[in-house]
Chain A
Amino acid sequence: MNSEFTIEFTTSPSWFRTIRQLIFTSSTQCGFDTRTAGQIAMAVDEALCNIHRHGYRGTFGRATLHAKATSKTDPLIIIEIYDEAKQVDVLQIKSRNLDEVRPGGLGVHLIQTVMDEAIWTKRDAGGMCLSMSKTSKSNTEHPLTTESNMHD
């Protein structure tokens, strides 16, 4: 089932839960399996958290999300997120070294790992735009681990 929607919202974490549910539903309805749909919703959530935390520095700003999910051949979802926050150098948006075990800085890594494409651009009108897409041909495989040991 195809779907397309645009939502304008305040960059409050209380909105992010609603938006990831929308993305999950759109993703499953166009044919993604629930695991992939959950990962796509997570990538969107991480992008929104970054806008709130870094773009608006924890204050509430405005953002617009446009999503288009289709299933003509394989499932495909295209998501664009626009904000009016402080512009950043797109070359500075990158994943950190995962060998460092520390909190923070995982959002960009998760977005880039889950999505086929994630492109940040500066908007002429101010703010940033993140364009992301995902098809079903590129599932992010991960073997489930039920028991793993650590450090001791």
Chain B
Amino acid sequence: MTDQTLQITIQSIQNATILTPVGDIDMGNSSQLRAALKNSIDEEPSKIIIDFHAVPYMDSSGLGTLIEALQLSNQISTKLFLTNVAESVMSIIHLSKLDNIFTICDTKEIALAK
């Protein structure tokens, strides 16, 4: 068995909150990302950026967490961005036909500039 803990670094820059999860996001730990996103959305920043540069894999529970976060952030007009998304993670987003509902940027700097 493997350790399921998901490390998430949270930074605030220019009224934006940047979350950087590290490791696979799956059924065993997506609740940690959900809680971190909920806390961030509650603070009503203008943007939330999820930096996926250190996420090699995400399953449908992680994807469901992102959909929930998008719906919550839309309610308070906070913009949600996904950045540095690996091909393996992009794959599940595309196969689920959800690539057009998320704003996906190459880097967090591009997301900050939007």
Contact = CB atoms under 8 A, between A and B. Distances in A.
Interface string B1-33: 111100000000000000000001011100000
B95 interface: yes
Given A101-B101, A144-B87, A150-B100, A17 B60 contact: no
Contacts of A12: 1
A38 B102 contact: no
A109 B100 CA distance: 18
Interface residues of B, number: 38
A22 B63 CA distance: 23
Nearest to A14: B1
Contact of B91 (A35, A101, A103): A35
A63 to B, nearest CB: 14
A42 interface: yes
A18 B1 contact: yes
Contact of A146 (B4, B61, B104): B104
Nearest to B106: A146
Interface stretch (A44-52, A74-82, A86-94, A123-131): A44-52
A142 interface: yes
Contacts of B26: 13, 16-17, 45, 49
Nearest to B2: A17
Given A18-B1, A102-B67, A110 B27 contact: no
Given A16-B28, A45-B26, A49-B61, A151 B2 contact: no
A106 B64 contact: yes
Contact of B68 (A103, A107, A142, A150): A103
Contacts of B57: 20, 38, 42
Contact of A147 (B24, B59, B106): B106
13 contacts: A14-B1, A17-B24, A38-B88, A39-B91, A49-B60, A101-B67, A104-B60, A106-B60, A110-B60, A144-B94, A145-B94, A145-B104, A147-B105
Interface of A: 12-18, 20, 35, 38-39, 42, 45-46, 49, 52-53, 98, 101-104, 106-107, 109-110, 113-114, 140, 142-152
| A-B pairs with lowest CB-CB distance, top 8 | A103-B64, A13-B28, A106-B60, A14-B1, A142-B94, A13-B27, A17-B2, A103-B67
